[in-house]
Amino acid sequence: MASRADNIASNLNLGNFAKATELRQRIWFTIGALIVFRFLSFVPLPGVNPLILSELYDQTRGGILDLFNTFSGGSLERMSLIALGVMPYITASIVVQMASALHPTLAALKKEGASGRQKLNQYTRYGAVVLCAIQGYFLAVGLESFGAQSGLQAVVDPGYMFRITTVVNLVGGTMFLLWLGEQITSRGIGNGVSLIIMAGIVAQFPTFGTNLFEGGRTGAISPAVIIGFIGMVVVLILLISFMERAQRRLLIQYPKRATQRGMMQAERSHLPLKINTAGVIPPIFASSLLLLPLTISQFAGSSVDSDSGFGEFIVTLNQYLAHGQPLYMALYAIGILFFCFFYTAVVFNPEETADNLKKNGGFIPGIRPGKRTADYLEYVLTRITVVGAVYLTLVCVIPEYMIAQTGIPLFLGGTSLLIVVNVTVDTITQVQSHLLAHQYGDLIKKAKLKGRMR
């Protein structure tokens, strides 16, 4: 049976892809949905002057806006209808997931199965609407005062009508993206929300590449630096591809059971523990918290006298928290390490896993069921989380440091590479699964035809 599966897997070529009609339809649907997403990123909010907005945005680069703008595919820079992207939904889902691990009521819902997950998903959507409305309102207020000190006004007609219109449009844009992501998940290929985030990041790659090679053409960046940066990106992609699939497999053994021939046979399986259990959440949280005070200080700095005590504090804060500075790099690394352990503790409960193994009669050889198993799982998980945390820190800190030292005009960090590689690997895995299912379907049909002929 295993050799048959290996032969089928080895035959997953373009010829088999051409025969998989349903898979091709799913891929074309996914591409069409992503094209709609890119079109929406160029539809501006009503009442905003795009030329003045672009000029003002260039004055506040380096803060949290750059991070969100990268994830939204430049929609925030253009203040389009989907300027907030799916980030409110991602934030709400993380909050609900953490709350379900800490709050008894939500934890009970999580254990109810499909109905409980549906209820938690409903809470996540409510939270996304609330977050989107709050962010949209503050974004509208910020746009009205954006550039007031420099004599530029990005909003044509500021007031409550503009704020209400902005909130309604931004909430509608985010909810439409969520619906579009659901359609991709059910009718396309891959995870819809993840693909939308990846499409936004990939859409910025031509800009990154243009800035890089334009710097080489003008002499601002040496050819050795360009080659070194490209080599670093390739190495990081290979490292991410390897580490994201790496796992520690714990042997699980079940009691001996009688087979049809009357023989006693022990069943064995494995409990996979990913090296990077936290995924891309730690660098997103760490960078968001670290860039938030920098962004606030940049907005506040335009309305504060630089000669005053508070103005000097803001200038000093901007200098120490700038990209590539020792304090920024140290805080960024510490934040990633902290959130790796924190989020891993939230998403994986050793005691619950040990109880489930005990209920099903499974045990780890050499470890007594119950508390001993929970302690052993926590011990193993802590050790592999150390490896995962160091890996995430290196992947995220090295690009930031190299960009700061070489002056490369890019905002392509390790977080973006993590998201792109993860989503790409998951999508390719789903494509291979569809092709494999198509191959098995053909074999079953042929077997049925041969049985009828006999």
Distance, CA of 423 to CA of 418 (rounded, Å): 8
pLDDT along the chain (454 residues), means of 10: 42 60 86 91 83 67 60 74 85 81 78 79 90 86 69 76 90 92 89 86 81 78 81 86 87 70 65 86 78 60 50 66 76 89 84 84 83 89 92 86 68 76 85 76 58 54
Burial 382-395 (b: 16+ CB within 10 A, else e): eebbeebbebbbbb
pLDDT at residue 230, as a whole number:
83
Q: Is residue 304 part of a domain?
A: yes
pLDDT at residue 303, as a whole number:
47
- Cα Rg, the chain, nearest whole Å: 26
DSSP state of 127: H
Q: Is residue 15 part of a domain?
A: no
Distance, CA of 73 to CA of 58 (rounded, Å): 16
Residue type, 233: V
Angle at 173 between CA 126 and CA 200, to 5 degrees: 105
Kindly state the greatest CA–CA separation across the chain: 95
| CA distances in angstroms from 399 to 330, 415, 420, listed in the order given | 14, 10, 15
For residue 81 the two structure tokens come to: 């209808």
Question: How many residues appear in the chain?
Answer: 454
Q: Is residue 14 part of a domain?
A: no
Distance, CA of 53 to CA of 330 (rounded, Å): 33
For residue 6 the two structure tokens come to: 């290996």
The half-sphere exposure of 87 on its side-chain side, counting CA atoms within 13 A, is 24
Q: Is residue 333 part of a domain?
A: yes
Q: Is residue 182 part of a domain?
A: yes
Query: What pTM did the predictor assign?
Result: 0.77
Is 223 found in the same domain as 189? no
- Indicate the number of domains in the chain: 2
Is 209 found in the same domain as 189? no
Is 213 found in the same domain as 98? no
Q: Is residue 166 part of a domain?
A: yes
Q: Is residue 115 part of a domain?
A: yes
Closest by Cα among 209, 205, 232 to 221: 209
Domain range for 371 is 205-454
SS3 (DSSP) at 362: coil
Is 398 found in the same domain as 298? yes
CATH value at residue 372: 1.10.3370.10
Closest by Cα among 180, 176, 194, 192 to 84: 176
Q: Are 86 and 177 in contact (CB under 8 A)?
A: yes
Q: Is residue 51 part of a domain?
A: yes
Is 388 found in the same domain as 363? yes
For CA atoms 34, 196, 37, 211, the dihedral sign is negative
